[in-house]
C-alpha cells in the first residue's frame, strides 16, 4: 500500500489547478488526482504523463462523480469558475457548485479542504458597496464550510500576473510599440497580484505540509499574494526590459458585467491594501513569491520577442 498522501485538485486543466498539479508532481510524497470534466482533452492527457498524477473525471454539478473522485483522498484543492459558460445563465450556480463540492468532500471523508477564494467586498466595505456574485459566491462557500464543520483553509489569491499573456492582452502595434489592453481598470490602480503559475503550487505545498501543526492554519486563512502592483507598473517594467515603448489601451467593458463592476470596485477601493504584501504570515511559513520583474523577464519579454519574430 502506498504511503503517499492523496490530494485531489479540481479545475486541473485550468490556470490554478494546473499550477497546483504541476508543482505537486515534482514533490515527493504525493499522489495527485487531477479532476476534470473532460479527461480526453489535450491538457488532461498531458497531465496524465506527469509523475504521480492520475486524471479523474468528475463534474461540479454531479455529486456522485465528485464523491467517487474524493474517495481515499486526504486533501481537496477546490475552486469554481464564475466565467465558465455553464455558469453564465445562472449567477448563483457557482455558489451551488461550491456547496456540492464541499458536501461531496464531507461525504467522502476528506480530511482537509483548501478553498480558493477572494475577500467579500460587501463585508470589506461594511455594506457600502453593492458587490457582485463574482466575488460574493466564493465568500458564501467559505461560510458553508464552517457551517458543515469541514476542516479547511481559505486561500486568498491575488490578481494573476499571468492574465496579461494568457488572455492575449499584450500585442505589437503596427508602429512597433507594445500595447497592453486593460479595460475598466485604471492604469495606476494598485491591487494585490501574484504569479499564479509559479507561486500557487509552492503555497499549496506549504499548506499541505503544515496545516496539522501550525496554529491558525486549520480553519484559518492564507494569502497567496506576491505584490502590490498596477497595470502601469507592468507596462513600465515591460518597457524597461524590452527597450520598446509600451502604451496601455483602455476600453469600456471586459465583456462581463460582473467583472466590469469588480474592476470599478478595485478602482475605488483597491484590494489587499490593508496590509503589507507579501503578508508576513505567508513569509513566516516559508513561502517566497516571485516579483512582477521576475514575471516580465521570464514570461512577458519572451512572449513579446516571439510576437516580433512572427511579423
**Range(s) of the domain holding residue 76:** 1-157
Strand partners, 180: 170, 248
Per-residue pLDDT at 130: 82
The pLDDT tens digits for 68-87 are 999 999 999 999 998 888 88
The pLDDT tens digits for 160-209 are 999 999 999 999 999 999 999 999 999 999 999 999 999 999 999 999 99
- Spatial distance between the Cα atoms of 149 and 176, rounded to a whole number of angstroms: 56
Q: What is the mean pLDDT of the chain?
A: 96
Whether residue 133 lies inside any domain: the answer is yes
- Spatial distance between the Cα atoms of 79 and 115, rounded to a whole number of angstroms: 6
Q: Domain total for the chain?
A: 1
If you search the block for the grid coordinates 463534474, which residue do you land on? 59
Task: Using the predicted structure, report yes or no on whether residue 4 has a pLDDT greater than 50.
Answer: yes
Whether residue 249 lies inside any domain: the answer is no
Nearest residue to 296 via CA among 250, 203, 251, 229 = 229
* C-alpha dihedral, 7 to 163 to 83 to 38, nearest 10°: -50
Whether residue 14 lies inside any domain: the answer is yes
What is the mean predicted confidence (pLDDT) over 269-279?
96
What is the full DSSP assignment across 197-239? HHHHHHHHHHHHHHTTTSTTTTTTEEEE--EEE-HHHHHHHHH
How much of the chain exceeds pLDDT 70, in percent? 99
In contact, 200 and 194? CB cutoff 8 Å: yes
Helices (H), 26-92: 42-47, 63-70
Cis peptide before 212 (omega within 30 of 0): no
Higher pLDDT, 135 or 245: 245
Per-residue pLDDT at 2: 64
In contact, 78 and 10? CB cutoff 8 Å: yes
Task: Using the predicted structure, report yes or no on whether residue 304 has a pLDDT greater than 90.
Answer: yes
DSSP designation for 196: H
How much of the chain exceeds pLDDT 90, in percent? 91
If you search the block for the grid coordinates 457548485, which residue do you land on? 97
Strand partners, 117: 156
Query: Domain holding 42: CATH number?
Result: 3.40.50.720
Identify the band that residue 88 occupies on the pLDDT scale cut at 50, 70 and 90. Answer: confident
Per-residue pLDDT at 89: 87
**Helix, strand or coil for residue 98?**
helix
Per-residue pLDDT at 1: 47
Whether residue 217 lies inside any domain: the answer is no
- Spatial distance between the Cα atoms of 233 and 253, rounded to a whole number of angstroms: 21
What is the mean predicted confidence (pLDDT) over 232-249?
98
Task: Using the predicted structure, report yes or no on whether residue 7 has a pLDDT greater than 70.
Answer: yes
Whether residue 90 lies inside any domain: the answer is yes
The pLDDT tens digits for 160-174 are 999 999 999 999 999
| Sheet strands side by side (includes 159-160) | 159-160, 191-194, 227-229
Whether residue 225 lies inside any domain: the answer is no
Whether residue 266 lies inside any domain: the answer is no
Whether residue 121 lies inside any domain: the answer is yes
- Spatial distance between the Cα atoms of 263 and 257, rounded to a whole number of angstroms: 10
- Spatial distance between the Cα atoms of 275 and 278, rounded to a whole number of angstroms: 9
Amino acid at each position: 500500500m502506498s504511503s503517499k498522501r492523496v490530494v485531489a485538485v479540481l479545475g486541473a486543466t485550468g490556470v490554478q489547478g494546473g499550477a497546483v498539479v504541476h508543482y505537486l508532481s515534482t514533490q515527493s510524497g504525493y499522489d495527485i488526482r487531477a479532476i476534470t470534466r473532460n479527461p480526453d482533452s489535450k491538457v488532461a492527457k498531458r497531465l496524465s504523463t506527469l509523475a504521480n498524477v492520475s486524471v479523474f473525471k468528475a463534474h461540479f454539478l454531479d455529486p456522485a462523480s465528485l464523491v467517487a473522485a474524493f474517495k481515499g483522498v486526504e486533501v481537496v484543492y477546490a475552486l469554481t469558475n464564475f466565467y465558465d459558460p455553464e455558469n453564465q445563465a445562472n449567477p448563483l450556480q457557482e455558489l451551488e457548485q461550491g456547496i456540492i463540492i464541499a458536501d461531496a468532500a464531507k461525504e467522502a471523508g476528506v480530511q482537509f479542504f483548501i478553498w480558493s477564494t477572494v475577500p467579500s467586498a460587501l463585508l470589506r466595505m461594511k455594506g457600502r458597496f453593492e458587490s457582485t456574485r463574482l466575488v460574493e459566491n466564493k465568500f458564501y462557500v467559505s461560510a458553508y464550510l464552517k457551517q458543515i464543520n469541514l476542516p479547511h483553509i481559505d486561500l486568498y489569491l491575488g490578481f494573476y500576473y499571468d492574465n496579461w499573456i494568457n488572455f492575449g492582452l499584450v500585442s505589437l502595434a503596427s508602429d512597433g510599440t507594445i500595447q497592453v489592453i486593460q479595460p475598466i481598470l485604471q492604469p495606476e490602480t494598485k491591487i494585490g497580484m501574484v504569479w499564479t503559475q509559479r507561486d500557487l503550487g509552492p503555497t499549496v505545498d506549504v499548506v499541505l505540509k503544515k496545516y496539522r501543526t501550525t496554529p491558525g492554519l486549520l480553519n484559518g486563512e492564507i494569502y497567496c499574494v506576491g505584490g502590490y502592483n498596477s497595470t502601469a507598473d507592468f507596462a513600465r517594467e515591460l518597457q524597461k526590459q524590452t527597450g520598446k515603448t509600451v502604451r496601455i489601451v483602455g476600453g469600456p467593458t471586459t465583456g462581463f458585467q460582473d467583472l466590469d463592476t469588480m474592476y470599478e470596485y478595485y478602482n475605488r477601493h483597491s484590494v489587499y491594501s490593508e496590509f503589507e504584501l507579501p503578508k508576513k504570515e505567508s513569509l513566516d511559513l516559508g513561502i517566497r513569491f516571485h516579483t512582477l520583474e521576475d514575471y516580465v523577464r521570464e514570461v512577458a519579454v519572451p512572449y513579446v520577442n516571439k510576437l516580433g519574430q512572427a511579423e
